[in-house]
Structure 1
C-alpha cells in the first residue's frame, strides 16, 4: 500500500526519532505508526528489520533518511541501500529539506550526495518548491544545482537574484546571469530585474554590468541610491565613462530637495571642505536628509559640538542616532546637566525614548561617576530595554582613576541600586570607592566569589 508523500516540517522527523527512542508510542496521523516506532527503536536489530518494510510506505521515507546516519553500521548501510533504490526525482525534491537539515550532523553526506545526484536530472519546474523554500540552506542548494546544470535562463537567474532575501543566492544567481550574457551580449534581459531589485547586492551587480553593456549613462541615477555599495559601484561606472561623481554630488546637495543618498555620497568621496555644503542640510525639513548630513559630517570628521547639540532633541530617531554617533568621540565636551535632564520621565510627559537613549549613550561614554549616575537614573525608565541596559552598566561599574575616594554620591547611587548586587559584591564596590563597607579589604585568600 503506497502512501501519499506529506513530509511536512523536516525538524519534526528528527524530534520524532528522538522522542520514540526515549518512549515508544504510536504517533497519531502517521502512516503505519507501529512501523515508525520500530524504525526508531533503541534496539538496532529492530530498526534494521523495520527498514525493509518501510520502503513500501513513501510517507515513512524521512525516517529511512534518518537511519542513513544511524550510529550502528549495519543499520546505516542497509538504510542507504534501500534509500538509493527508493528515491526518484519527485521524492528527492520532497526529501531535500530534511536531507540538508540532517546533513549538518555527522554521517549526513551520503543522503546529500544521493539527493543532489538525482536532482541533477530534474526539470526547472520540479525545482520550483525548493527555490522558494523558507530554509535558506535549501534555496542555496537548489540554486547552486540549477546553476551547475544550466537549468535557468539568464533572465530567470536575474529574477532569482532580485527576489531572494539570502545574500549567497543573490550573489550566485547575479554572477551566473551576468556570466551567461557576457558571452551573448543580451544584457537587456538581466539588467532590468537586477537594477529594479530591492536588495542592494543585486542592484550593485546590475549597476556594475552597465559598463559592459555600454549603458554607462544609466549609472548616474544610482549615485544617490540608498545603499552605500550601490553608490560605490555607480561611482566606478560613472568615472569609467568619463564622468565626475563628486561634481554631481555637490550640485545635488545645493538643490532645494536633495536625495538623501546623494548627501551620503558627497561625504563618501568628498573632502573636508565639502562640510560647508552639509551644514545647511542639518536643518532641512526632511528627516532623512538631516540624518544623512550628520552622518556625512561624521565621515568627514567635521564635528562641531555646539552646533550638533540641538539635534539631540530632534523628533526623528534617525537624526538623534546620527547626532549621538557624531558626538560620542567628543562626549567629554558635552555638558552632562542637560543630558541628565533628558533621562527623567517618559513619553508623553517627558522626553521620547530615542532622546533618552541618545542622552544615555553620551553619558555612558563619559565614564566615572557620570556613567554611574546616568545608569542608576534609567533604572526607573518606562522602557524595559533601557532599564536592562542601565542595570548592566551599574553591575559592571568600577571606580576609575582620577575619581575622588570616599565620594558620598557613589555610596548613595550604589545604595539605590543595591537590589542588583549581593551583599558581598556591594560591600566590595563600596570598598573600591573608599567608602565604609569592607573593613580590611579583600585578600588573595578570600573564599568569596568576586
Structure 2
C-alpha cells in the first residue's frame, strides 16, 4: 500500500497508470479496507481533470458493485479533506463539475451545499453511472441534500430502466437500516412495481444477492411472477431464501386452485426445502404417492416428510426401510440407513451391522451413526482404526455417548506415533473424556508431538483445564501417576504456557 501512496504523490504520473491503480484498488475498497478507499479517493482526484481517464475511471467504479460508493463516500470524509490535500481543495474540475466523475466526487463533499449542487446537476439524471452515488445521497443526513436527491431519484426512476435499477436497488437495500432510508426504499419499491415484466425479471437476475432478493420480495408481494417464473426460480435461483419463497408461493397457488401438477416438477429440485414444500403440498392435496421415492433422500427434512407421506398412505416407513436393507440396496444404502435411524428401533441393529463392513466410507459412517441413534449396544471399538476419518469421527461420538467402553490401555496404543493422525486424534478425544489425570497425561504426551494438529489441541486443552477445571480438580492421583505426570511435565514444560505448568505442579504436589 505504501508504494501505491507514493505513486499518487507523483502529480505527473501517466493517466493510464493511475487508471490501472484505480482498478486494483476497487476490490479492496469495496470490501471495506479503509486505506485502500483513501488511496482510491486520491487517485480519482488525480485523474478527474482529464475527461478521458476520468471517464475510464468512472466506468471501473460503476462496474465494481454496490458497496464501493458506500465505502468511498465514507472515505472521502472527514480527514481526507481536512488535511488539505491540494489535489482535492484545488481541483477545478470538481468545483466546476466539468465531467461525470467530477460530479460524483462533488456529491461526496463534506460541504452540504456542494453535495446538494452536485445532486441537482443534469448529469445525475442523464448518466446511469452516477445512479449509485445518487442512491447514497438519497439517505443523506442533511435534510436539504436528501430532499434534492429524492426528487432527482424519483425523476430517474420515473421510467424504470433495468440498468439504473440494477445499480440503485443493491445500494439502497444496503442502506435500508439507516435512519433516513425509508423514503428511498419506498421509491425503489414503487419503481420495481411500475417496471414492465422484462425489466423486473432483469433485476431479479442481477449479480448482487441482496438486490436480487429484494426484487424477488417485491415481485412476490405484488403478484408479478407467473407460475412458470415461480417454478423456474424455485428450481434454479441460487439464493436459497428467494428459492424457498418462490416454492412457497407456487405451493400456495396449487392448494388454492387444487392443482397438484404445479408442484410436481419441484420434486426434482436440488434444494431440500423446495422438495419438502412440494411433497407437503402434494400430501395436503391427497397425493401421497411420491413419499416412497424420497425415503432414502440425503436430506433429513425430506426423509421425514416422505415418511409422513407414507404413513398418510397407510404404510409403515420403518418396514419399507427394513425390507430394502435386508438385501444390498446399492447406491441408496446411506439414505436408507439414515431413514431407519429416523423411525426404527433397537431391534433393527442386526440389519445395520453388515453395513459396518461396506467398502464405501460414507455408508460405514452412516451405519455407525444409525446404531447410535437406535441406541444399540454394539462394540464399535474395532472401527477406531478405520482408514476413513469420517468413520472414526462417528465411532468416537458413539463411544462417548455410550460411556467408557474402550479399555484405556487400547487407547494409549492408538495414541502412539505409529498410528494415522485421525486415529490418534480419536484416541486423544476419548482419553481426555476419562478422568482428569488421564486427560492431563494425554495432553502432556502430545504437547511436543510432531503432529501440529495434535500438538495444538493438547496445549489448548491444558489451558482450558487451567482456566475452567483446575479449581474443581479434587481427584487424587497415585504416587505412580504423580511421578509419571511430573516427568511428562518436565519434558513438555517449554511448550506449555507458564501459568498452566505452574498450576499443574501445584495440583500434583497437593495430590
Q: 103, 107, 115: which one pairs with 1:39?
A: 107
Distance in 2 between the 1:125 and 1:42 partners?
A: 39
The aligned residue for residue 392 of structure 2 is 320
Q: 1:100 to 1:242 in 2, by over 3 A?
A: same
CA contact (8 A) 2:231 2:250 kept: yes
The aligned residue for residue 360 of structure 2 is 286
Within 5 Å, give how 1:75-224 maps onto structure 2: 75-87=145-157, 88-90=159-161, 91-133=164-206, 135-192=208-265, 194-224=266-296
Q: 1:199 to 1:49 in 2, by over 3 A?
A: same
Q: 1:384 to 1:150 in 2, by over 3 A?
A: farther
Within 5 Å, give how 1:217-232 maps onto structure 2: 217-232=289-304
CA contact (8 A) 2:131 2:167 kept: no
Q: 477, 494, 502: which one pairs with 1:404?
A: 477
Distance in 2 between the 1:124 and 1:380 partners?
A: 66
- Helix, strand or coil for the counterpart of 1:434? helix
CA contact (8 A) 1:39 1:47 kept: yes
Q: 1:128 to 1:317 in 2, by over 3 A?
A: farther
Q: 76, 84, 109: which one pairs with 1:20?
A: 76
Q: 1:203 to 1:352 in 2, by over 3 A?
A: farther
- Is 368-377 or 144-153 further displaced after alignment? 368-377
Distance in 2 between the 1:419 and 1:132 partners?
A: 58
Distance in 2 between the 1:124 and 1:118 partners?
A: 12
- Helix, strand or coil for the counterpart of 2:289? helix
The aligned residue for residue 6 of structure 2 is none
CA contact (8 A) 2:448 2:495 kept: no
- Helix, strand or coil for the counterpart of 2:509? coil
- Helix, strand or coil for the counterpart of 1:70? coil
Instruction: String of CA shifts for 1:153-208, please: whole Å, max 9, x gaps.
Output: 2233233223334442233111101111223344334312x211112111111222
Q: 1:396 to 1:92 in 2, by over 3 A?
A: same
- Is 257-266 or 163-172 further displaced after alignment? 163-172
Instruction: String of CA shifts for 1:351-385, please: whole Å, max 9, x gaps.
Output: 33432332232223225132233334444556655
Instruction: String of CA shifts for 1:322-371, please: whole Å, max 9, x gaps.
Output: 111111134533233333443444xxxx4334323322322232251322
The alpha-carbon deviation at position 214 of structure 1 amounts to 4.6
The aligned residue for residue 445 of structure 1 is none
The aligned residue for residue 58 of structure 1 is 128
Q: 1:425 to 1:48 in 2, by over 3 A?
A: farther
Cα root mean square deviation, aligned: 3.1
Q: 351, 367, 373: which one pairs with 2:441?
A: 373
Unpaired segments ≥5 residues, structure 1: 437-450
Unpaired segments ≥5 residues, structure 2: 1-50, 82-86, 92-97
Q: 337, 346, 350: which one pairs with 1:272?
A: 346
Higher helix share: 2
Distance in 1 between the 2:312 and 2:117 partners?
A: 69
Q: When the two structures are superposed, what TM-score results if normalisation uses the length of structure 2?
A: 0.75
Q: When the two structures are superposed, what TM-score results if normalisation uses the length of structure 1?
A: 0.84
CA contact (8 A) 2:462 2:500 kept: no
CA contact (8 A) 2:235 2:243 kept: yes
CA contact (8 A) 2:65 2:208 kept: no
- Helix, strand or coil for the counterpart of 1:366? coil
> Aligned residues, how many?
427
CA contact (8 A) 1:405 1:435 kept: no
Distance in 2 between the 1:426 and 1:380 partners?
A: 14
The alpha-carbon deviation at position 287 of structure 1 amounts to 2.6
CA contact (8 A) 2:352 2:367 kept: yes
The alpha-carbon deviation at position 135 of structure 1 amounts to 4.4
